[in-house]
Amino acid sequence: MVYVIAYLTAHAGKGDDVVALAAPLIDATRKEEGYISYDLYRKPAEPDSLVFVETWKSRAALDVHFAEPHLKTFKAAMADLLVEARVEVVHPEKIEVI
């Protein structure tokens, strides 16, 4: 298994927009082969700080996810909404930052 932790910081007041745009992404991702869990969380005191926490059966399954049109659409929509994004892929032996 591999885990993904994606930290997103939206521009001030844009956290709700990110959550709304993430809904179709989350629905589509949960139908993918290799998906185990895929959840989006917000910090209650910082509504523009969001974190995706994901679990995948393998790095190969994650690679397929990265190529999916629904993820590409989400990433394009986020271009003007995010101040910062950091994605960590956690393997048993290492952490990749992408």
Q: What is the CATH number of the domain that holds 72?
A: 3.30.70.100
Domain count, the chain: 1
List Cα–Cα distances, 36 to 3, 14, 16, 57, 76, in angstroms.
10, 28, 25, 7, 25
Q: How confident is the model at residue 76 (pLDDT cuts 50, 70, 90)?
A: very high
Condensed to tens digits (0 to 9), the pLDDT of residues 7-47 reads 999 999 999 999 999 999 999 999 999 999 999 999 899 99
The span from the CA of 66 to the CA of 43, in Å, is 25
The span from the CA of 41 to the CA of 30, in Å, is 16
Q: Which two tokens stand for residue 66?
A: 């990265």
Q: How confident is the model at residue 69 (pLDDT cuts 50, 70, 90)?
A: very high
pLDDT of residue 70: 96
Q: What is the pTM of this model?
A: 0.91
Domain membership of residue 27 as a residue range: 2-97
Q: Residue 60, Cα to own-chain centre: how many angstroms? A: 17
